[in-house]
Structure 1
């Protein structure tokens, strides 16, 4: 059994395809003083994993944190529709990076890393942005979008792991297999 230290339905779906999992969301502090976005994502993932591991020392813990980076600035989750609109306008027609830091704790050993995927959006007109905002899908999403849903129409191309943009890179599944965990058949 693997414990997923996240309430994200997307992470639960990805990891649950391969392994039996139990979801125990972390309440870890998600603040970080790391300068590089990659370091920040890994630090937050580590905090999440460690916050759960202390209560479940004999279980395998998986935690992740996904951030969107545009022109060296981290785009968090929008506070409201107006902020979501501004984020989508900034991403329109441009390339941004999606970085997911991950941390696995297995038998007291920590394995951590990150994955980077580049995403290019099409040019978004106001009508398309208005339609998307009305879906409500932008809520609780870094960069104000979810690639696996309605926002798929925004994407011109991606370079890298699609599942990383969804919230959990497949690299994590491979790392778990390397640790000897057997996937479902």
Structure 2
């Protein structure tokens, strides 16, 4: 069984990695996640994954006298609609506004993944197109009352109740969840890691 350091608090990313057969050890990576003025979603999400990784590596070396024994993985996911970044809503009103904008429309979900190991860092970006059905005000209100939208980019979780809003998905289901399996496995293979159970 391979072991990974995961610098993310996302239970979804941890679950995906554990389902692939990894032992996952959480480590911290605290950064400022504010987008730059006029920053494009693809640039933003890749910068976040890279900065989280750099912060995790820096914190590792500050606390240990040796290089990390296992790869350090970071990821960031954001939702973009008409070139606007939709992060995690801070209020229920923001969540309602985001969901109303996505209603009946196609948006993009971008997930960037970075891995550091043995002095090298590699990254990958995965983008999916997601189309929502038209949402009624009642559906939006009920979904917000469930509490699910409040800690998720774009104010919904595809693996939960928010999945009922998805009319069409072109791309990676796990990428929309927060960690694209195919791309992540390819990234780890660049470091010579073969993924169970195929090892």
- TM-score, with length taken from structure 1: 0.94
Q: For 1:154 and 1:9, how far apart are their aligned partners in 2?
A: 22
Paired with 1:25 and 1:174, the residues of 2 have a C-alpha distance of: 24
**2:171 is matched with which residue: 152, 155, 160?**
160
Residue in structure 1 matched with residue 157 of structure 2 by the alignment: 146
Q: Does 1:93 align with 2:104?
A: yes
Q: 1:23: which partner in 2? A: 26
Structure 1 stretch 123-132 or stretch 156-165: which is displaced more? 123-132
- 1:51-109 Cα offsets, whole Å, 9 max, x none, are 11131532311001100000110011111111101111110000000001111112111
- The equivalences for 1:81-160 within 5 A come to 81-160=92-171
Distance 1:179 1:20 in 2: 17
* Contact 1:20–1:184 (CA under 8 A) maintained in structure 2: no
Q: TM-score if structure 2 supplies the norm length?
A: 0.88
- 1:32 is displaced (CA, Å) by 4.5
Determine if contact 2:79/2:85 at 8 Å carries over to the other structure: yes
In 1: Cα distance, 2:31 partner to 2:75 partner:
12
Structure 2: state its 5+ residue gaps: 62-66
User: 1:4 corresponds to which residue?
Assistant: 6
**Which position in structure 1 is the counterpart of 2:64?**
none
Residue 47 (str. 1) matches residue 51 (str. 2): yes
* Conserved 8 A contact 2:123-2:187: no
Deviations 1:91-146 (A, max 9, x none): 00000000011111121111012110000000101121121111100011111000
Aligned to 2:71: 60
Q: Which runs of 5+ in 1 are unaligned?
A: none
Q: Show the counterpart of 1:72.
A: 83
Asked whether the 8 Å contact 2:131–2:169 carries over to 1, the reply is yes
Provide the residue aligned with 2:193 in structure 1.
181
- What's the secondary structure of 1:138's corresponding residue? helix
Q: C-alpha separation between the residues in 2 aligned to 1:2 and 1:130?
A: 39
